[in-house]
Amino acid sequence: MNCPTNIATAVELGTQGTPVYWKDPWVTSPTGNGTLITQTHASGNVFPVGRTTVSYIFADVYRQLMTCSFIVTGTSVDTTPPVVYQCHSNIVQDAIQSGLGSLVYWNEPFAIDVGGTVEVSQSHHPRTVFPPGTTTVRYNFTDGSDNIAPCVFNVTVSEGDTTTAPSQGLNVSNCPTNINVTVETGTYGTRVMWSEPVANSASGSVSLVWQSHASGDIFGISKTHVEYNFIDGEGNAAHCRFAVAVTTVDTRPPEVSLCPRNQTVKIELGNKSTTYEWIEPIAFDVLGGIETTRSQTPGAEFPLGLTRVYYHFIDGAGNNSTCEFYINVTEVDTTPPTIQNCPRNISYQRELGAPMPSVTWEVPTASDLSGYVNATSSHSPGSMFQVNTTVVTYKFEDAANNAATCQFEVNVQEVDTRPPRIENCPAKYHQ
């Protein structure tokens, strides 16, 4: 038998599995090649994270079973970098005045990764004074497997003659506190709402000159700083700053597929148990790493009656799913009764002219595993038999109508062993 060895494969994080290929096993025996009876999987099937047992069952011409089993182990790997959103295009802005830089604002990019957590590093921050000329701004988004996705743009500050004269008198109200939101693992972000801040000034005229985000924006799995900047008619400036932190939580149990249906297995009367094979169920979880426990394995022995088989799948967050089915082992009776003392053929000689003989024999009996046997016969011991060959039949039936027959022949032959009888024989004569 050329049974494949155990196979290890990598499964990309966030996918349900990966196709695995192998050369199909085959078997030979002295009586020829084996015939494939069943198989749990085929080469090219998709296998999830975890250990999956692959089995092939063959039979030879004598119905001798041969099994090939090996294990496909899927290990979760993450080679995909985060996906970046809102990466800014190049920014061009005038300086406050000649020789000075400029305060530059932008909406910060964010990234989403199938693994959930993304670490952000950046060369500059919005609301930073940039000097005249061109400065490269770089964000690096790194996931838990050290895959990196960059966001790069240039900030160019040109010479200008604008001046800013800050003063007091502008107040901001209704500035939100930090916001913490949880989302289900496997989602990339969520829409976050808040009440917009309001600015008031003695001058009466207030403008919102810049805001990094708006209520209802979608926030990725990270901590994001939100800022509003206001200015009044006298040039007074004020801001509102808070953070939106989005974290993941896993509340969904693994998804189970290929859960077997209930099965009824029949065994011959007199047996107490039997083995049974099935294709094992599998489970998928967005984070991978599923722990599987089972009550029985394929090929286990099952006694008469109903037995519950269950599989428990638990993910890394403790969420669990169950697959259960029942094996019902029942008895059937296909074996006829066993006959004891079936007589051999009987030969009987009847003297010529004698009446029909009465022939006797020992009555046969039968036993059955069910304990019940009904017997019928064509003749009984002591019956009269004519000169001829007569077949005597006993039929034994059990409760399942399985029948066994005992037959023998009674052969009656007519013979003449008596000499002729002389009549009128004269007496001796004397002269």
Tokens of 392: 């005597």
Q: Domain segments of the chain: what residues?
A: 1-77, 83-249, 250-332, 338-415
Do 250-332 and 338-415 have matching folds? Answer: yes
Average pLDDT over residues 31-56: 87
What residues have CB less than 8 Å from 199, skipping those under 6 apart?
170, 171, 172, 173, 206, 208, 230, 232, 238
How many helices, marked H, and strands, marked E, lie in the chain? 0, 40
Residue 44 has a pLDDT of 92
Compute and round to an integer the Cα radius of gyration of the chain.
Answer: 48
CATH entry, 250-332, from 2.60.15.10, 3.40.50.740, 2.60.40.10, 2.40.50.140 = 2.60.40.10
Residue 159 has pLDDT above 90, yes or no: no
CB 265 within 8 A of CB 274: yes
Tell if the pTM clears 0.85, that is, is over it: no
| pLDDT confidence band for 131 (50 / 70 / 90) | confident
CB 408 within 8 A of CB 378: no
CB 282 within 8 A of CB 260: no
pLDDT tens digits for range 351-410: 888 888 899 999 999 999 888 999 999 999 999 999 999 999 999 999 999 999 999 999
Name which of 116, 22, 18 is nearest 76 in CA terms. 18
The answer to whether domain 338-415 has CATH 2.60.40 is yes
What residues have CB less than 8 Å from 272, skipping those under 6 apart?
303, 304
CA-to-CA dists, residue 319 to 73, 291, 313, angstroms: 22, 11, 8
| Identity of residue 260 | P
Residue 165 has a pLDDT of 33
CA-to-CA dists, residue 31 to 39, 62, 246, angstroms: 22, 9, 67
CATH code, 1-77 = 2.60.40
CA distance 258 to 137: 51
Average pLDDT over residues 297-326: 95
Tokens of 366: 């039968």
